[in-house]
Amino acid sequence: MKNRFGHVLFACSLLALSGPEAPASSAPREGPSTATSDSAQEGIRAAIQHYCKGHATGDSSHIRKAFLPTAHIEGVREGKLTSWTLDEYCALFKGQPPADEGTRVRTIDLIDLSGSAAMAKATLVHGETTFTDYFVLLQVGDEWRIANKVYSRAQSRSGGR
């Protein structure tokens, strides 16, 4: 009888876990496909495209359109943490496109949206370097803006050929 009671408790525990608060290992659910979701996706992409246009043109006004004024940009370069405010980051752009702009490839790899918050992953490949950017975005009013960005820099697969 004791053994049967233990099995019943175990089964009840599993049932409790399979409710609305199921663990991450449960089957993924489809999100709503509504105009609001489509509109949010477009707004998120627009913010990231402003960021990409700033990089492509060297014009920091596009960067400012992409980010919240309180944003920080952080990563590791040559083993050391870099952390820039938006103003410090914008000062890096000199108003001219990079010399190798024609060979650079930018992609938005992933967008994950939840209400007025989102995250996105983008990749920039140029020459022997690949940057992977992770953006945290917020919807402020009817506009999506990048709240913060972290990046990783790595040798491109094609590098060193």
Output the pLDDT for position 118.
97
pLDDT in tens, 29-72: 444 444 458 999 999 999 999 999 999 999 999 999 999 999 99
What pLDDT, on a 0 to 100 scale, did the predictor assign at position 70? Answer: 98
Which strands, in side-by-side order, build the sheet including 105-114? 80-85, 67-77, 143-155, 129-140, 117-126, 105-114
The model carries a pTM of: 0.75
Please tell me the predicted confidence (pLDDT) of residue 112: 95
The full set of domains in the chain, from first to last, is 33-155 (3.10.450.50)
Q: How many CA atoms, within 13 angstroms, populate the side-chain half-sphere of residue 8?
A: 5
* pLDDT < 50: residue spans in the chain: 1-35, 159-161
pLDDT of residue 71: 98
pLDDT of residue 37: 84
Q: Residue 122: which of 147, 150, 97, 145 has the closest Cα?
A: 150
